[in-house]
Chain A
């Protein structure tokens, strides 16, 4: 009895050893990735412990955990802050609006391009409208600031037509409009690509059958094209929900100015400003802020995924 067991165990060990030995070259190829993800993703995750300490950089993370552990006090500090709630609501508002706008504009552009029949024109339009995606926010923000500033071309036109200077960069609601507008300008074309590809995959039989029934083009869009991209749309929406709280640091960092900070400051720019610019908070507080953001983002993704699955759609997890 024992003999058989030992034999079995030996056999298993041997085959495990063999398995590892057979995998050795692939393991060699994956080692850099393991090192990379541990160093640049998992070490910062372990670093969130800072959020529960009064971090002292001379003592390092472990030293701070042992000597300066203050539990949830940093979170208390945040939640008692008037500024935090303003920034949090800004983030939710800007992030949510952006997700909705990005979705609607991408689908609209995709429908327009998909319906065009002049092949050359279609191609040219696609090249033009996808281009801004590849510019950095530094450039796009510069372009928009130069065009919409008080002396920019847009205000020149308005004054030329007898109007008064419009403070696109100094009035809250106009500036938010500019944030959303520049986001559409930059990303709508690129966002449409994936929908156009999905539309190309819809069976032509459906369109032929609709023709026989005498459907108009709008009816075909409504009853065939849109349902055809539903699965892709839901998938992309779930994925973008996780980014709601990110709301676009690069864009707002480059476009914003002191006059509109009240309305356009988001969690990420707030963390950056209070840590590196004004030094208002110690590392512990801003780490707690970042951790709070990550957690809420994570919960949002899981919740959306559950809701999508409950509605009979394919989720992502």
Chain B
């Protein structure tokens, strides 16, 4: 009787109950969130405006919400700068090469650790967990990389990132959540573990692969730390490193196309904007993948 009662269709209301009209509380929330969102957007907007403002107008009143005259000279000098293009080239190598490499090793490790009972699994798992709590620190790492002969190479920005423990566990949890019967029936048909992985589990986990791949892609686009630490050669600087040298070091390494016509500030802004714009274009469409990753990872991990 009780069970039947529970199954009766309930009165479907707004899940937050009867007070579903738009009240004062909602207005306050809306205003706070609007201010917050504007605080996030404003720096980007300001950046963009300065980057298209001619020098004379900027000199008069450097704080602008709109510019009466638009110039793309700053972008022109960014585009004509060989360092930026070279940085972009290196970053694209990392973006495609590095992401594929990291994805491959992270996913096969995640798959192996998601399977039940095999020789050595617990040992490997413990070995990995220890590294999450303890590390050797910067200097031993630096000495290792140096003795491997990886300084001043692009490889140093790719090879040491083969497996990311967080993303690996994300993949492992996802593989473990897929039905066990898939594996059993394939095994009856005579498939081995690698075949089961490649032909059954991999095609089923494309959304999760996309999530993890995107995390890696963003990491590679933003890569500068290993490059800064290990590479002195300016010809293999990433885009972020070039940006760092332009802005943080405050040097005017970019010769302007038409000296005097553009202020240094707008070139800096244009260079930053150039680096952000690809992410800005893709992010709104990809956001759900990132969100899924962190949610799955945290709830099951």
Q: Which A residues are within 8 Å of any B CB, using their own CB?
A: 19-20, 22-23, 25-30, 32-34, 36-37, 39-48, 50, 57, 60-61, 109, 112-113, 115-118, 121, 124-132, 134-136, 138-139, 141-147, 151, 153, 156-157, 160, 185, 189-190, 193-194, 197, 204, 207-208, 210-211, 217, 220, 232, 236, 242, 250, 254, 268, 271-272, 275-276, 283, 286-287, 289-291, 293-294, 298, 301
Interface hits, B111-147 → A, CB 8 Å: 111-113, 115, 118-121, 124, 127-128, 131, 133-144, 147
B144, A44: Cβ atoms closer than 8 Å = yes
Residues of A within 8 A of B119 (CB): 19-20, 22-23, 27
B163, A33: Cβ atoms closer than 8 Å = yes
Residues of A within 8 A of B197 (CB): 29
From A26, A34, A126, contact of B118 by CB (8 A): A26
A146, B115: Cβ atoms closer than 8 Å = no
B115, A26: Cβ atoms closer than 8 Å = yes
A160, B41: Cβ atoms closer than 8 Å = no
- In this assembly, does B37 line the interface, its C-beta being within 8 Å of a C-beta of chain A? yes
A27, B118: Cβ atoms closer than 8 Å = yes
A153 to B64, CA, bound (A): 8
Residues of B within 8 A of A134 (CB): 218, 222, 279, 283, 290
From B29, B105, B138, B291, contact of A271 by CB (8 A): B138
A203 to chain B, nearest CB (A): 10
From A19, A143, A275, contact of B139 by CB (8 A): A275
Please classify how large the interface on chain B is, using the bins under 10, 10 to 19, 20 to 34, 35 or more.
35 or more
From B15, B135, B276, contact of A41 by CB (8 A): B135
Residues of B within 8 A of A129 (CB): 36-37, 40
From A45, A194, A283, A301, contact of B135 by CB (8 A): A45
A-B interface contact total, Cβ < 8 Å:
261
A197, B137: Cβ atoms closer than 8 Å = no
A263 to B192, CA, bound (A): 59
- 30 pairs, A vs B, C-beta closer than 8 Å: A26-B193, A30-B112, A33-B124, A33-B128, A36-B162, A36-B163, A37-B127, A37-B128, A44-B135, A44-B140, A112-B36, A125-B33, A126-B287, A127-B284, A129-B37, A138-B241, A139-B240, A139-B272, A146-B47, A146-B272, A160-B63, A193-B291, A207-B16, A217-B16, A283-B143, A289-B137, A290-B137, A290-B140, A294-B134, A294-B135
Instruction: Decide yes or no: A40 and B144 within 8 Å by CB, A25-B192, A28-B194, A131-B40 being known contacts.
Output: yes
- In this assembly, does B178 line the interface, its C-beta being within 8 Å of a C-beta of chain A? no
B143, A61: Cβ atoms closer than 8 Å = yes
B137, A141: Cβ atoms closer than 8 Å = no
From B40, B139, B192, contact of A189 by CB (8 A): B40
Instruction: Decide yes or no: A141 and B112 within 8 Å by CB, A156-B62, A250-B225 being known contacts.
Output: no
B63, A153: Cβ atoms closer than 8 Å = yes
A91 to chain B, nearest CB (A): 14
Residues of B within 8 A of A294 (CB): 134-137
Residues of A within 8 A of B143 (CB): 47, 50, 57, 61, 283
A37 to B243, CA, bound (A): 32
B37, A29: Cβ atoms closer than 8 Å = no
A211 to B19, CA, bound (A): 8
- In this assembly, does B26 line the interface, its C-beta being within 8 Å of a C-beta of chain A? yes
B134, A142: Cβ atoms closer than 8 Å = no
Identify the stretch in B71-79, B252-260, B293-301 within 8 Å (CB) of chain A at 4 or more residues.
B293-301
